[in-house]
Amino acid sequence: MKRGQFSSRLAFILAASGSAVGLGNIWGFPSKAAENGGGAFLLMYLFLAFLLAYPALMAELTLGRHGRSNMVSTLDSITSGLVQKRLGQLTGIMGVITATMILCFYSIIAGWMMAHTLASIMQTLKMYKIAEWLVTFSLWRNICFSTAFISLTLLVISAGVEKGIEIWSKRLMPCMLLLLLGLIVYVLLQPGAEEGLKIFLVPDFTQLADPQLILSALGQAFFSLSLGVGTMLIYGSYIRSDENLPVAGALVTVSDTGVAVLAGMLIIPALFAAQQLGVDIYTETGRLISGPDLIFHALPALFEGMGEAEALVAIAFFTLMSIAALTSSISMFEVPVSWAIETQKMSRLKASIAVGVFTILISGIISYKFTSIFEIVVVATTEWAQPILSLMLCLFCGWLMHRNHLLDELKQGVPDLESGLFWRIWPTYVKIFCPLLIVIILVQSFLPFS
């Protein structure tokens, strides 16, 4: 069977940035920044994104393009000997499971965003009862909307790489960026916004050594660049051989961190603008509010205070969130689907339906036992599985992939690679520095004084 391929560099950049830019950037990043001292978190995040996440992203993209298949088969093909092969397969399978579990909880949050978009529309149509149901937390609302969201993702993925992933990334990413920029301009013109901007951009250096801040920024950097679970690996496997991988990877990293910073410039100033309207933006412990309280209470309160523009701004905001979520979920969905197509010999349509039904079921269970399971799934997948799997991928790329193969792979798109700075630093960097740093950060979060 012929494998899909992105038609151009732009198509890859948009698809991979679409995967990277998601709720993690627009919700997760500003929320975590608000919780962890604004500018200090931003600084740590930027540091880790370029120093740790970018090299790890390069490891995934290179492995993917070299293997030209899903995570399990790729790790199997680059290893030799029984132990190495088993380790490769196990890591691959853990990646597929983690991507699927992330999709399950992600679809619940994305469903809330779709429900809020619809609620704002209902509000303008004066259908207040329906709008009320849509914004009220309930089992059925959660199940209906996560199912709708997964079905939408399924439709895109079943159309394949060029006709599904590529076309929709090209359509949705510019819309997302326009909405984001428009909202930033609007919010920054509101009274009070300036103070929020200051808190977000000016770091309090005393907070930089806080182990919780570092772990949180690490998790955020890996989650935001969609690392460890094979999404970047599979997108890498769809890049043309003559593409310059280090440059393509750098562009994805820059656009992902760029959107996170822009989102911070939207959300935190919006919070302070809401304060001017009488909204309480601090928790009992004196920290800025974050998470669902921030997105579903403080911001809607701000929109309400905007008078005529209210409905439009609310619709724009929640549409922005829904689009960002969709381009990310597409990439998560592709991980188990490509595995099923390539190892279980299923057709794309069958594989998409099977993965869709499975994720709808699991996300239904998470919705049903929301208070006891949701948080555990989020922490286990994003704070633990993602960094550990990323660590494994760096080890596979650095220690088990032959250096000559690595060089040949990258040289196809960069003939003079050996004389450049990238080749002088990166191979040793993914081999030693990245794994070491990930281990240190994970271990220090275990220590009693952290």
Binding stretches for ligand PHE (CB under 6 A): 19-20, 22-25, 99, 102, 223-224, 226, 229, 231, 328, 331-332
Nearer to ligand PHE, 23 or 122 (CB): 23
Nearer to ligand PHE, 25 or 142 (CB): 25
Nearer to ligand PHE, 208 or 325 (CB): 325
DSSP string, 346-396: --HHHHHHHHHHHHHHHHHHHHHTHHHHHHHHHIIIIIIIHHHHHHHHHHI
Min. distance of Cβ 112 from ligand PHE in angstroms?
14
Nearer to ligand PHE, 53 or 281 (CB): 53
Min. distance of Cβ 73 from ligand PHE in angstroms?
19
Min. distance of Cβ 289 from ligand PHE in angstroms?
20
Min. distance of Cβ 157 from ligand PHE in angstroms?
13
Give the separation between CA 225 and CA 223, rounded to whole angstroms.
6
Tokens representing 175? 């819309």
CA-nearest of 434, 417, 418, 383 to 59 is 434
Give the separation between CA 162 and CA 232, rounded to whole angstroms.
16
Min. distance of Cβ 329 from ligand PHE in angstroms?
7
Nearer to ligand PHE, 226 or 255 (CB): 226
Nearer to ligand PHE, 42 or 274 (CB): 42
Min. distance of Cβ 28 from ligand PHE in angstroms?
7
Give the separation between CA 206 and CA 8, rounded to whole angstroms.
45
Judge contact between 78 and 396, C-beta under 8 A: yes
Min. distance of Cβ 384 from ligand PHE in angstroms?
14
Nearer to ligand PHE, 265 or 406 (CB): 265
Give the separation between CA 394 and CA 447, rounded to whole angstroms.
24
3-state helix, strand, coil in the chain (%, to 5): 80, 0, 20
Nearer to ligand PHE, 118 or 326 (CB): 326
Min. distance of Cβ 67 from ligand PHE in angstroms?
18
Residue 187 CA neighbour count, 13 Å, CB half: 33
Cα 351 to chain center, whole Å?
A: 23
Residue linked to tokens 């030799």? 80
Tokens representing 41? 């978190």
Residue linked to tokens 């562009």? 251
